[in-house]
Structure 1
Amino acid sequence: MKYTLLAWFCLLFFCRSGFGQEPVQYTPNKINQFKFVPLPAIGSNPANGWMFGLAPSATWYMGDPQTTKLSNLVGNILYTTKKQWIFSVRSNIFLNENDWILVGDWRYFITSQPTFGLGSSSPNEASQDPYFREPPGVLWGEQQMNFRLLRFYETVLKRISDSNFYLGIGYHLDIHSRIENFLDEPISAPEEVFTHNAYNLSNGFDTESYALSGLTLNAVYENRDVPVSPYERNFALISYKVNPTFLGSDQSSSTLLLDYRHYFNLSERRKRHLIGFWAYGNFLVSGKLPYMNLPALTWDMFGRTGRGYAQGRFRGESMLYSEVEYRFPLQKNKETFGGTLFLNANSFGNEFNQENLLNQVNLGYGLGLRVMINEKNRTTITIDYGFGREGNSGFYLNINESF
């Protein structure tokens, strides 16, 4: 399964200089030193066809840059030749003196996407799942889905004293609706054989729409120098989510998300020369989740896990992911161009096809180019090509580093 995302760089000159004037004085909790990158985008993949639109991003400070970290926002406004719409806004805002962090993830999709079944061993081509217990004949491998997704995630974190530790609470809402399952080939198949439907029916969920609404308790250690493109230090997140029915969830459940990132400098003179490490885990702790809310590859906040595979290529009730990336400058005395080599691994476990975590580990690897369009804020265009197992591969273009 290939995924491609291309962008035009016709506004590159303007993006390098930014829009708006830098203020002489910095006002606490007001937007200062605002930079906007209105990047036009053209994309194509088998699920969406050709996509046209914008992939804008912005960076700014909510206080003095000497004492306040850089805030950032990344958006997508895309329309496809299959009459699909993709809207998203994701933000990480540091208030004055880094006393508060506001984290947002808002999305509305009218879209389609293949799903490949549960676990880490699913094949590319559709076939009968040999492990699914009930009912028999459930498909495994590529199955197409049409659906709509409304997502509203917002988290507020408060700094603890003068440390880099934060505690906070968030509200997370996902509503999937108008779900349809089908195969690309004209094969007549009962609805129950699609993995999505079989899983949901077995767990008491509707097959056409469902909601997951919950509160998160969050602990964060934010020690990166510049979160959008770190050169050093580390980041950690622990997020426990409770999804009660009285908040609108179809069934009660709870999940645990763990995220750790570390950056090791290889040169004191060129801090851009580094090795980055990322460890990520997402686990169902109690209850049941609807199929599309199960942990899945590339469904993290910025969609950066699993380069080399399509979004949703692997899915399960528990997920482990890790990645190591070597980043280096390509110019002797300038920071405009850089490169990267990366290696990642993922594993999924779930009860229904009786696959445990680490029974199967899927590797991805690749290389990339970096173009820094604003050196002071480290706003960077990232271009990567990744390879996975059994012919999976993908070409990716994004704003800012993968992690």
Structure 2
Amino acid sequence: MNKVFFLFCFQFGLFLHGFSQDTTSTQKDTLSKFDRFNQKAEALFKIIPVPLFAYSTEAGQIFGLAKFNLFRLSKKDSISNPTRLSEVFTMSTKGRINASVSTELSLKENKYVILSSVNYRKQPEYIFGIGNDISRDSLEEVEYSRFRFILTGMRLIRKNLYLGPAFDLSNYYDIKPDSNSFLIRDSVTGLKGGFNFGLGIAGAYDTRDSRYNASKGSYIINTFMWHPPFLGSTYSFFKWDLDARKFFTPWLKHVIAVQATTTYISGDAPFYDLAMLGGENKMRGYYLGALRDKVLVDAQVEYRLPVWNIFGVTGWLGTGRVANSYSGLSLDGFWLSYGLGLRIRVDSKNNTNMRFDFGFGPNNISGFYINFAEAF
């Protein structure tokens, strides 16, 4: 895997400046000044986007900005969870472009929840092959362009239980695999790209005390999505996603978080819409989509430890694999993910962190991630 190192100079520069002031004063005075500094930094953080820089041999130098905000849509509604709005835009010296806007809206005293995401991406994608029994030596690069829009709207139908429609629209084009790629040799579905219109239903059970940094409660979300040709989809397939989470606080403010997910796909799904292992939230350390197939199962447990003031650390252990069917799953084929993370609170009112995660796996698999809120 290519290692990418992000520099988040702005936040740390402010922190180091404030921390270096008046080191000869008493601990009480230092903490008081530190807290006052944090209040000013958080206020500035809500206005100014975070500068990002990255480098890899494939993409070259990557420059961008990221923004994350939590706020209430109505001052009269003090019951609804805060609404999330996040944006990311990056460009690279080798032609990579990635632009995303995502939201999570809470309305009418949490009676309605709307999840949405708009993304444009032009970049190479890396893939070992299709299936679980593959080798890192078979890594290939596939260039493509993509536009995608996802919308899920759910209404509270019973205490803690939500239900509503879901939509997934995407268009993949300008797909350019390696000249000797298995995608060409095997005439893999999706090689020519196409348009997909997904229509489905989503249901969620949510008892978490916080959507962005939970310390207790449960969260289960099910999504069933059909991509029928009569709606204009180039490929006809069905997709089911299940995500289950549980949070415990065994002592003090220490948190143990557990997550298990699965994805099932049937029909003529293109290779870019198969179930994918890896990414910045699950199986951290693995490139998202390096392993993919019609069935995915994975699980992880994470320990979240507060250290001092706005700082905390985490450690996690995860495992997962893909297969062509559930009957094809075997215990000896699971991949391992583990790692450590640093947490810095950037929104005290909503108890939200910025996270820096270092994920690893066997055979020199590694990844570094910067994001807002917890991985799950």
Tell me what 2:99 maps to: 87
Q: CA RMSD in A?
A: 2.1
**Does the aligned pair in 2 maintain the 1:373–1:379 contact within 8 Å?**
yes
Residues 232, 378 of structure 1: alpha-carbon distance in 2 compared, 3 angstrom cutoff: same
Cα shift readout 1:144-202 (whole Å, capped 9, x = no counterpart): 111011110011111114x11100001101211101112xxxxxx54xxx233345x25
Shift of residue 359, structure 1, vs aligned partner: 4.9
Moved over 6 A (4+): none
SS of match in other structure, 2:142: strand
- Give the alignment partner of residue 67 of structure 1, picking from 64, 79, 93: 79
Shift of residue 14, structure 1, vs aligned partner: 7.8
Cα shift readout 1:253-308 (whole Å, capped 9, x = no counterpart): 111100001111122x42xx110001111111x31200011011246xxx412211
Tell me what 1:207 maps to: 191
Percentage of pairs with the same residue: 26
Tell me what 2:59 maps to: 48
Shift of residue 229, structure 1, vs aligned partner: 1.4
* Distance in 2 separating the partners of 1:67 and 1:107: 30
Tell me what 1:144 maps to: 141
Shift of residue 53, structure 1, vs aligned partner: 0.8
Q: Does 1:100 align with 2:97?
A: no
Tell me what 1:6 maps to: 6
Name the one with the larger helix percent. Answer: 2
**Residue identity in the other structure for 2:260:** A
- Give the alignment partner of residue 288 of structure 1, picking from 255, 260, 268: 268
Cα shift readout 1:31-86 (whole Å, capped 9, x = no counterpart): xxxx4561111122344222101011111113457411121122210001211110
Unaligned residue ranges in structure 2 (runs of 5+): 15-37
Unaligned residue ranges in structure 1 (runs of 5+): 21-34, 126-140, 183-188
Tell me what 1:25 maps to: none
* Distance in 1 separating the partners of 2:274 and 2:206: 27
Shift of residue 206, structure 1, vs aligned partner: 4.9
Residues 118, 216 of structure 1: alpha-carbon distance in 2 compared, 3 angstrom cutoff: same
**Residue identity in the other structure for 1:363:** L
**Residue identity in the other structure for 1:154:** L
Tell me what 2:173 maps to: 177
Tell me what 2:316 maps to: 342
Cα shift readout 1:285-332 (whole Å, capped 9, x = no counterpart): x31200011011246xxx41221111212111100011100001112x
**Residue identity in the other structure for 1:254:** F
* Distance in 1 separating the partners of 2:5 and 2:328: 33
- Give the alignment partner of residue 238 of structure 1, picking from 222, 241, 245: 222
Cα shift readout 1:323-359 (whole Å, capped 9, x = no counterpart): 100001112xx3x0000011111110027xx954545
Q: What are the residue-to-residue correspondences of 1:291-306 with 2, within 5 Å?
A: 291-298=271-278, 303-306=280-283
TM-score (norm 1): 0.81
* Distance in 2 separating the partners of 1:280 and 1:5: 28
SS of match in other structure, 1:197: helix
* Distance in 2 separating the partners of 1:341 and 1:206: 38
SS of match in other structure, 1:384: strand
SS of match in other structure, 1:250: coil
**Residue identity in the other structure for 1:377:** N
**Does the aligned pair in 2 maintain the 1:230–1:263 contact within 8 Å?**
yes
**Does the aligned pair in 1 maintain the 2:278–2:285 contact within 8 Å?**
no
**Does the aligned pair in 2 maintain the 1:5–1:395 contact within 8 Å?**
yes
**Does the aligned pair in 1 maintain the 2:338–2:359 contact within 8 Å?**
yes
- Give the alignment partner of residue 363 of structure 1, picking from 336, 340, 345: 336
Cα shift readout 1:238-266 (whole Å, capped 9, x = no counterpart): 11111101112112211110000111112
Tell me what 1:375 maps to: 348
Tell me what 2:132 maps to: 120
TM-score (norm 2): 0.87
**Does the aligned pair in 2 maintain the 1:283–1:317 contact within 8 Å?**
yes
SS of match in other structure, 2:300: strand
SS of match in other structure, 2:291: coil
- Give the alignment partner of residue 391 of structure 1, picking from 355, 359, 364: 364
After superposing the two structures, state which structure 1 stretch, 238-247 or 357-366, moved more.
357-366
* Distance in 1 separating the partners of 2:91 and 2:56: 13
**Does the aligned pair in 2 maintain the 1:18–1:37 contact within 8 Å?**
no
